[in-house]
Structure 1
Amino acid sequence: MILEEKTLSSEKIYNGKIINLRIDTVELPDHKYQKREIVEHPGAVAILPITDNNEIIMIKQYRKTVEEVLWELPAGKLEVGEDPKKCAIRELKEETGYSAQKIELLNIFYTSPGFSDEKMYLYLAKELNEGNPTPDEDEYVEIYKVKIEEALKMIEDGKIKDSKTIVGILLSKELI
């Protein structure tokens, strides 16, 4: 069986500052038809900053969408045409104040492919230099250093709920 869906039509419903919404009419492999609500997102980066003492630089911030304060890796949205690595360098500096002498791509993944096309670029940042954060005017974050072992325990205990952060921390096990 062929698992692909053929798009028959596409209608833009909403164009926003961060996301767009469209509804596609598709033909399924069994020749039935279905509507798909799709969130278009320009993509994002997340950064796994690890100190020489095997600590992860993490942030805590309130997320209105889930009405909770979440533990997260520094991250941010790609600007149109922006190179993901440059975005990672910028977001690390803005959110935490840290800059990295070494930054490398660890993984690329889709955050929620059931309804969104958002692609996340996950970078490892090492040889960190501390500086002053310059968050966006509507961004309020607290910065923490968390030992990798403690971060893994926080995932097990359900304290870390953010998927990009879970992916990054689980990948960090391979780095220590």
Structure 2
Amino acid sequence: MTNADQHLIEHLSSREELLTGNFLHVRRDTVRLPNQRSATREYIQHSGAVMVIPLLDDGRVVLERQFRYPIGKVLIEFPAGKIDAGEDPLRCGQRELLEETGYTAKEWAYAGELHPVVAYSTEAIQVFFARGLTLGQRKLDEGEFLDVFTASQAELLEWCLSGKVTDSKTLAGMLWLQNYSLGARALQWQPA
């Protein structure tokens, strides 16, 4: 934050833990607004996640179909998962790609960070591209059920435009993929 942002900043006055779960923590903070009044902010404390944009040699991408209980729908998504405590984000991406899809990658490139739901969550998703893929055996977590499939970038773009893809991280990932494919975004590839 810069000094130019000071007129926008809210300051913590007090904090209340509403829920401490295995995966999420819900908090209610009382804050002092820039006009010196008080307000409450309820939000979810999230440990962070990684999303992988897996590129096959023929230009297709690896995607998943997974039921998402909170909205009661099967969604099309790029592979992703929660970062474990103390886990390096790249290692998390490599682990999630293998566990969920069975693929390993020879090269990885960090693309950046996105915040999918800034109004009520601290979640930050670290985005990686992966290429030089080799298919092996999936290692799904207990209780994890998903289908893995491939699609062309044109198919994925059409699904994003038509509303078939509604997952925010996958929509953002498609934008980053499109920019990379058009040469508008350079990536620094590193061996796995």
Question: What TM-score results when the alignment is normalised by the length of structure 2?
Answer: 0.90
Matched, 1:16 2:21: yes
Q: Which has more helix, going by share of residues?
A: 2
Residue type at the aligned position of 1:3: L
Distance 1:131 1:161 in 2: 29
Residue among 167, 174, 186 paired with 1:169: 174
Question: What's the C-alpha RMSD, in Å, of the aligned pairs?
Answer: 0.9
- In structure 1, list runs of 5 or more residues that go unmatched: none
Q: 3-state SS of the aligned residue for 1:71?
A: strand
Distance 2:180 2:46 in 1: 30
Question: What TM-score results when the alignment is normalised by the length of structure 1?
Answer: 0.98
The corresponding residue for 2:74 is: 69
Residue among 113, 120, 127 paired with 2:132: 127
The corresponding residue for 1:153 is: 158
The corresponding residue for 2:90 is: 85
Matched, 1:140 2:173: no
The corresponding residue for 1:42 is: 47
Residue type at the aligned position of 2:57: D
Query: Residue 110 of structure 1: CA displacement?
Result: 1.1
Matched, 1:109 2:104: no
Q: 3-state SS of the aligned residue for 1:99?
A: strand
Please identify runs of 4+ aligned residues in structure 1 that moved more than 2 A: none
Residue among 96, 100, 103 paired with 1:98: 103
Deviations for 1:17-73, whole angstroms, at most 9, x for unmatched residues?
110011100011111111100200000000000101111100001000110000000
Distance 2:138 2:166 in 1: 24
- In structure 2, list runs of 5 or more residues that go unmatched: 1-5, 182-192
Query: Residue 174 of structure 1: CA displacement?
Result: 2.1
Query: Residue 175 of structure 1: CA displacement?
Result: 2.5
* Pairs aligned (count): 176
Residue type at the aligned position of 2:146: V
The corresponding residue for 1:52 is: 57
Distance 1:76 1:54 in 2: 23
Query: Residue 142 of structure 1: CA displacement?
Result: 0.4
Q: 3-state SS of the aligned residue for 2:70?
A: coil
The corresponding residue for 2:9 is: 4
Query: Residue 170 of structure 1: CA displacement?
Result: 1.3
